Amino acid sequence: MSVADIETMDRAALVAAWDAVFGTPVPKRLSSPFLRRFLAFEVQACGRTGLPKGFVAKLAKAARDDPSRASPALKPGGRLIREWNGATHVVDVIDGGFLWNGERYASLSPIARAITGARWSGPRFFGLKPLG
């Protein structure tokens, strides 16, 4: 199969090619233009003896990493410090929640919202989860 062949395939042929190349069903709602792009990339990558080793290593690492990891376990007595607009905010971890400015909160998100005035993920705002 060549890139030129892929350009002329109808949807049924693209689906069959996807199954042959990847061994999995086509993801739902994937348009024909995207199918063509994915298949063309795969054909080109295989034609060049595969993907670069560094890229394959990055893909393998991404596959091993669990993006849904929970935030690190915070234990009572811990302290989160965040500077925002020139002010330093200190949040103490207590049993069953957090203490900020003398008020008790069940989660970090309302604290982040009170500090910024915007809807932030509390764990993300305090640096417990990476951006993106």
Q: Which residue has the tokens 């996807």?
A: 18
Residues 36-42, mean pLDDT to the nearest whole number: 87
**pTM for the structure as a whole:** 0.46
Task: Give which of 83, 73, 66 is closest to 123, Cα–Cα.
Answer: 73
Residues 70-84, mean pLDDT to the nearest whole number: 81
pLDDT tens figures, 3-31: 888 899 999 999 998 888 888 888 888 88
pLDDT tens figures, 85-126: 898 999 999 998 999 999 999 999 999 999 999 998 888 888
